[in-house]
Chains A and B, each alone.
Chain A
Amino acid sequence: MTSATAVDDIVGSEYEHGFTTEIASETFPPGLDEGVVRAISARKGEPEFMTEWRLKAYRHWLTMPEPAWAAVHYPKIDFQSISYFSAPKRPEDMPKSLDEIDPVLLDTYNKLGIPLEEQKALAGIAVDAVFDSVSVATTFRKSLAEAGVIFCSISEAVHDYPELIQQHLGSVVPHTDNYYAALNAAVYSDGTFVYVPKGVRCPMELSTYFRINARNTGQFERTLIVAEAGSYVSYLEGCTAPQRDENQLHAAVVELIAMDDAEIKYSTVQNWYPGDAQGKGGIYNFVTKRGDCRGARSKISWTQVETGSAITWKYPSCLLRGDDSIGEFYSVAVTKGRQQADTGTKMIHIGKNTSSTIVSKGISAGEGTQTYRGLVRIGPRAEGARNHTQCDSLLIGDRCSANTFPYIEVKHPSANMEHEATTSKISDDQLFYCRSRGLTEEDAVSMIVNGFCKEVFNELPMEFAVEAQKLLSISLEGAVG
């Protein structure tokens, strides 16, 4: 086998989770105007404040130009051709237990390797599964409630905890922040709300699986996690999507708030359909994720493994406002075929003695292009701020590329900044060495890639780390230098 054909094999490895579930959904006709925004709000029976909040965002969105600066290329999105709401058929009688869940849906999760029933018993993970836009299953509510942790869909939170929502929603990512954040605020369909009270250590990993399903329906998830003083929570987000023809827009907003001494660990394993070999049909993933280290000594860590999507535009960020607060970003991103990723992080140091760590591992194969864009800003009051940035790129084959753009703005002379960057290739020597020991090309590549990503995988919770490794092996099947 020559190197060139082998590289084509990875590009040719078909998306494993490409299938569509047949569930009758009630979907709005395509198009967006104030009427649609009101209809979404009405459909969800939202209180007045929420309707007004959406409308304000919608009106602002109308005034904003679509961003064009990210190093990605795609046909212009027609926002009027997207349907802004879709829900499984019987939203009014939401299931109380797994027995009430549509068996077709459960089967979908099983095909995705997420056996909900088993998960319940396994690892102690509470699962808030988001199917299309409405939560359909929530488990482990009880033991969370005993600890005082709120873990529910954001729609429920709007009804049950309106004060918390009014206080925090949009406080980290205001609707004025960017084009997609404004759109999301106007039309968000559902998502997850987590509230961890003062001094509480959340007794289990919280996890949500996302899956885009209904044809042509953009997903506008909204996640809000509030960790009160001295609390701790670890949240896992994972998603896959079925194969389809049209590009699908996903514009989520994630807001994290950590008060004094609180810690939030947010992990993502993302495996959306990347499109066919020509890049047709993949997911457009334009996400705004931001963590606010509001309190002193608070800590927020983002860990992400990104293997999917046709286009990814995503910069999980930390606002380090509290003195001695810590921001971390650990990322593995894979681009293959015609995938494009423009991703990175922003660490905004505002408080004194704040520190941030960035470890970014980019893997490109086929004709994948990947851009790391990182901003580290040390504000004028951020005395004693420290940052360590490490950006490593691994190239598989000769037709892919990786770029690194570190932006650094330092407004305080005491800042301590370290930056390391490397680019390497899986060499023929390495592959031959492994193969001469009896390993197949695939095993060799997956072993080298996993070794390359180890620092990031170490940050993931155990079960997720195993899943992430599997995912990487699947997505790089047949890859050779």
Chain B
Amino acid sequence: MLAVKGLKANVGGKEILRGLDFSVGPGEVHAIMGPNGSGKSTFAHVLSGREGYEVTAGSATFEGQDLLALEPEERAQLGLFLAFQYPVELPGVNNTYFLKAALNSILKARGQPELDAVSFLRLIKEKLKILHLDDSLLKRAVNAGFSGGEKKRNEIFQMALLEPKLAILDETDSGLDIDALRVVADGVNALRSPERSMIVVTHYQRLLDYIQPDHVHVLSKGRIIRSGGKELALELEEKGYGWIDAEGQAA
């Protein structure tokens, strides 16, 4: 589904991704862990097409298409979704209106019929239930004045609505209280399916207790330095990143 090979990218003239190899098959959940500043968000942004990142080498294909040649909206229309580490506020833009426009834009690009107001509201009600989200958030402007946790939940709500093929969750767990974490994880699990893959970026084992990954990777200084099963996360929790770094140097 996603195949990344030898990906190198610069930000502000500095090389942040330094030869990244990574692939995700249908229905798989991959966790990416790694120290602050190692390039996790950069990787997520490069995959979703943010401007300002200069790809200097390597490739990324998504469902056989050259992802890097596409505009961000085209990637979204193909079925890529990024849940932001720092969701952006859009003052004055009504949340429901925004979601409807986004969904219809995606449907339109896929040649599918757009939803009218009634069927959209029905869909929204259904998805709200999954995330135990208060519908008052939908009447407000996108993320404007939302608490940190509300913003993160809103991201997962968007994901539930847009039903992507590949979702990248960038530290969705940070800023969530314990109950919210559970709700979000339940929501994410409800969206797991054999056709839907996920990349979960996190610093904490706790999230992975709820969302059990098929694979765990450690990103350090712009490279995947270790991959393994879900037990790798436990080991990291216990020993910290220094352990792998030290091992890496010893080897």
Contact = CB atoms under 8 A, between A and B. Distances in A.
Interface of A: 1-3, 424, 427-430, 432-441, 443, 447-448, 450-454
Contacts of B82: 436
Q: Taking chain A's interface residues, is the majority helix, strand, or loop, or is none over half, making it mixed? A: helix
B102 interface: yes
B51 A438 contact: no
A451 B76 contact: no
Contacts of B77: 438
Contacts of B225: none
A441 to B, nearest CB: 8
A282 B88 CA distance: 38
B70 to A, nearest CB: 11
A438 B71 CA distance: 10
Contacts of B102: 434, 437-439
Given A428-B52, A438-B109, 12 more contacts: A432-B72, A435-B72, A436-B76, A436-B82, A437-B158, A438-B73, A438-B103, A438-B106, A439-B105, A440-B73, A448-B93, A451-B91
22 contacts: A3-B51, A428-B51, A429-B88, A432-B88, A433-B87, A435-B73, A435-B76, A436-B82, A438-B77, A438-B105, A438-B109, A439-B101, A439-B102, A439-B105, A440-B73, A443-B105, A447-B90, A448-B90, A448-B92, A450-B92, A450-B93, A451-B93
A436 B78 CA distance: 11
A21 to B, nearest CB: 36
Contacts of B76: 435-438
Contact of B88 (A1, A430, A454): A430
A428 B52 CA distance: 10
B96 to A, nearest CB: 12
B146 interface: no
A440 B30 CA distance: 29
Contacts of A453: 92
Contacts, number: 82
Interface in B56-113: 71-73, 75-77, 81-82, 84, 87-94, 97-98, 101-103, 105-106, 109
A185 to B, nearest CB: 41
B27 to A, nearest CB: 22
Contacts of A430: 88-90
Contacts of A441: 73
Contact of A451 (B87, B90, B158): B90
Nearest to B164: A438
A1 B49 CA distance: 11
Contacts of B129: none
Contact of B162 (A2, A438, A451): A438
A439 B101 CA distance: 7
B216 to A, nearest CB: 25
A443 B73 CA distance: 11
B141 A451 contact: yes
Contacts of B51: 2-3, 428, 432
Contacts of A433: 84, 87-88, 90
Contacts of B98: 434, 437, 447
A440 B72 CA distance: 9
Contacts of B89: 430
B93 A447 contact: yes
Contacts of A429: 88
A448 to B, nearest CB: 6
Nearest to A2: B51
List 9 tightest A-B contacts by C-beta distance, closest first.
A451-B92, A438-B76, A433-B88, A435-B72, A451-B93, A437-B102, A438-B106, A435-B73, A438-B105
B172 interface: no
B197 interface: no
B89 to A, nearest CB: 8
B202 interface: no
Given A443-B105, A447-B98, A447-B101, A435 B90 contact: no
